[in-house]
Amino acid sequence: MPKYTNLNIISYFLFDVHHTESLLKYDYFNAFDKDAIQILLSAVKDFSDKELFPYIKEMDEKPSYFIDGKIMVHPQFETILKQASQLDLVKASLRFEDGGLQLPISVFHSLYYIMEAANNQVTGYLGLTLGAANLILAFGSRQLKDTYASKMLDMTWGGTMCLTEPQAGSSLSDVKTQAIKVDHTDYYLIKGQKIFISAGNHQFADNFVHLVLARIKGAPFGTKGVSLFVVPNKRPTDDGLEDNHARVIGEFEKMGQRGYCTTHLSFGDEPDCRGWLVGEENKGLAYMFLLMNEARIATGRMGAGIASAAYYASLKYAKERPQGRLLNNSGKKDVSHEQTLIINHPDIKRMLLLQRAVVEGSLSLIIQTAHYLDELKVCEKQDKEKYELLLELLTPIVKTYPAEQGLRAVSNGLQILGGYGFCSDFILQQYYRDIRIISIYEGTTGIQSLDLLGRKVTIKNGKTLHYLMEELSLTITEATHYQEIKPYANQLKEQSDLIKTVLAKLIPKALAGDFENYLADANSFMDLLSTIVIGWQWLKIATTACKNGNATQLENNLIQTMAYFYTYEMAKLDGLVKILLNDKSITVKANAQTFD
């Protein structure tokens, strides 16, 4: 059986560490019990084993392509999309009234994590259709919902999110796709180009529904003048579907995720490309960002999934490959002995522990974040602010940590294979290529870091961090009861105070209006806070593992991995603090002439 993730660990994280069962007592989630969720996890694992994992390499070697105005993806997608629809994988987490099943988001993300570990070229096609439908369901008119959403939820039609333009990547203020209201109709005429549109068209959907950011003629400058439109490839009329003059005009050839198409769309090259406004004028970016938060969690999850697959691929190799010998106590190797398996070398174990620590720490944070989303649906009114602010704070982290550290994990996985890791016959080199996009999708690490330090930390005078530290305190207090992990609880207590030290130094810069220096090392702040957050997750996992007294092998392994994280990964925090406390403004003062 292919091994790319461990269902026991996912289940342990959901039910033991993050108490998913506690959600199921609420009316909102009562369509599911624990058994139903376990069955669902197994069903998706089974689907991934059979339909996803066996095709990952082939999708890379025979990538999607653009021909005759069409995008062609790997033929296996026909089966995949059909079965994904049968498993309700697009609509599962939506509300009953929207046609969904009200599955906890924490479980939903676990299902996608499994699929992404099996084959990271696949879930984008589902996720973007869901994201686009979600926008319509959240902000669209009754008519838009009726016309588009249900067809997208059962995957007859696909969906995309159209933000980026050639001159406007991270800077959505500069979107210039145009929308002109047509008098006496309910639509606008859309004209403009969008690039890097993931999952934009393929041969296995009857129609595509694009959610497009555009500027209504005369709208204000910047993000305040951006509106959101539904622009289908084919628009429904009384007689069926008619061409809506939205075209795919190319595909971007990429280093990785080559089975997952990235398209160039053009709207209105022919005269009659119609778009329907979603919600109110000029509020498009606010709508988009509500969904963007989910997309950012999903992106982090995809990174963790790829890193999981790489971990198991390198583990398999390490358990099978003989090479070298252990040292005897005179520091020599006895060459008359058989070679040892490389998994017995400490440096190989280091690379495996590093991968586990990153992969499972990330997974736990993904479930944690999703759990807050679930809580938001059922919690008392007075708890709402807490969960909302925790989500604001954690979203850039859950996007970034698995991207940045996941890449490092995958690269360590490749290293375990030595020269074979670089060869196309082995899958590690593909994961190394695939995961490189994760720190770019949905806002680069630079953008996430600015968001974290520039916006999230300062909301309501730092209430976001206040709530986070409360959560850490709860975990620390609980962990302190167990001798085995008490030193780690103390370490987290001490190291989480570093955040205060850093902000005490930085905040005055912001207050003095020196935002450039305030934000110059946002990247290091991201590294600092995200490592502490993952440390919190590991302590939570280890505390759970200690609770039952007689730890299982799985629990012992988790405790060992926690110790690795605290000893090796958290060692870097003092260095990050040094960077954040320095006053030299080196990067601010540098200019174009510095680089020759």
| 30 versus 171: smaller Cβ distance to its own copies | 171
Contact 43, 109 (CB under 8 A): no
- Indicate whether 121 belongs to the interface with its own copies (CB under 8 A): no
| 148 versus 441: smaller Cβ distance to its own copies | 441
Report the C-alpha gap between 439 and 453 in whole angstroms.
17
SS3 393: helix
- In terms of DSSP H, where are the helices of 99-149? 105-118, 123-139, 142-144
| 143 versus 582: smaller Cβ distance to its own copies | 582
| 356 versus 456: smaller Cβ distance to its own copies | 356
Q: How far is CA 280 from the centre of its chain?
A: 29
Distances (CA, A) of 326 to 248, 382, 412, 417, 438: 58, 59, 21, 18, 38
| 38 versus 560: smaller Cβ distance to its own copies | 560
Name residues whose C-beta falls within 8 Å of residue 500's C-beta, 6 or more positions apart in sequence: none
Which position among 69, 75, 418, 508 is part of the footprint of its own copies (CB under 8 A)? 418
| Terminal Cα distance for the chain, rounded | 54
Q: Can you say whether the dihedral through the CA atoms of 559, 308, 399, 77 is positive or negative? A: negative
- Indicate whether 67 belongs to the interface with its own copies (CB under 8 A): no
- Indicate whether 352 belongs to the interface with its own copies (CB under 8 A): yes
- Indicate whether 96 belongs to the interface with its own copies (CB under 8 A): no
Helix axes 123-139, 105-118, angle to 10 degrees: 150
- Indicate whether 382 belongs to the interface with its own copies (CB under 8 A): no
| 87 versus 168: smaller Cβ distance to its own copies | 168
| 56 versus 84: smaller Cβ distance to its own copies | 56
Of 517, 364, 527, 363, nearest to 445 by C-alpha is 527
- Indicate whether 72 belongs to the interface with its own copies (CB under 8 A): no
Name residues whose C-beta falls within 8 Å of residue 30's C-beta, 6 or more positions apart in sequence: 24
| 424 versus 501: smaller Cβ distance to its own copies | 424
Report the C-alpha gap between 67 and 249 in whole angstroms.
9
| 31 versus 571: smaller Cβ distance to its own copies | 571
| 380 versus 425: smaller Cβ distance to its own copies | 425
Q: How far is CA 553 from the centre of its chain?
A: 29
Of 185, 257, 125, nearest to 133 by C-alpha is 125
| 139 versus 312: smaller Cβ distance to its own copies | 312
| 14 versus 570: smaller Cβ distance to its own copies | 570
- Indicate whether 62 belongs to the interface with its own copies (CB under 8 A): no
- Indicate whether 174 belongs to the interface with its own copies (CB under 8 A): yes
Q: Which helix (H) or strand (E) holds 71?
A: strand 70-72
Rounded to the nearest whole angstrom, what is the least distance from the CB of residue 168 to its own copies in the complex?
8
Site for its own copies in 434-463 (CB under 8 A): 436-437, 439-440, 444-446, 449-450, 454
Kindly indicate which of the ranges 40-48, 117-125, 132-140, 327-335 contains the residues binding its own copies, using the contact rule CB under 8 A: 327-335
Give the 3-state secondary structure of 38-58: HHHHHHHHHHHHHHHHHHHHH
Kindly indicate which of the ranges 100-108, 155-163, 235-243, 572-580 contains the residues binding its own copies, using the contact rule CB under 8 A: 572-580
Site for its own copies in 355-374 (CB under 8 A): 356
Q: Using the 8-state DSSP alphabet, how is residue 244 labeled?
A: -
Kindly indicate which of the ranges 107-115, 142-150, 266-274, 313-321 contains the residues binding its own copies, using the contact rule CB under 8 A: 313-321
Report the C-alpha gap between 302 and 119 in whole angstroms.
10
Tokens, residue 284: 């498009």
- Indicate whether 150 belongs to the interface with its own copies (CB under 8 A): no
- Indicate whether 560 belongs to the interface with its own copies (CB under 8 A): yes
Of 139, 561, 527, nearest to 350 by C-alpha is 561
Kindly indicate which of the ranges 17-25, 368-376, 413-421, 533-541 contains the residues binding its own copies, using the contact rule CB under 8 A: 413-421
Which position among 183, 218, 329, 550 is part of the footprint of its own copies (CB under 8 A)? 329
Contacts 24+ apart (CB under 8 A), 247-253: 247/69, 248/66, 248/69, 248/70, 248/71, 248/200, 248/201, 249/69, 249/193, 250/66, 251/64, 251/65, 251/66, 251/71, 252/195, 252/196, 253/63
AA identity, residue 75: P
Site for its own copies in 8-37 (CB under 8 A): 8
User: How many residues in the shown chain lie near its own copies by CB under 8 A?
Assistant: 112
Site for its own copies in 195-234 (CB under 8 A): 195-196, 221-223
- Mask of contacts with its own copies, 491-530, x by CB under 8 A? -------------------x--xxxx--xxxxx-------
Tokens, residue 320: 């099978």
Kindly indicate which of the ranges 40-48, 272-280, 380-388, 429-437 contains the residues binding its own copies, using the contact rule CB under 8 A: 429-437
Tokens 């108490």, residue located: 19
Contact 83, 47 (CB under 8 A): yes
Report the C-alpha gap between 487 and 489 in whole angstroms.
5
Which position among 256, 284, 361, 396 is part of the footprint of its own copies (CB under 8 A)? 256
Site for its own copies in 267-296 (CB under 8 A): none
- Indicate whether 575 belongs to the interface with its own copies (CB under 8 A): yes
Site for its own copies in 101-120 (CB under 8 A): none
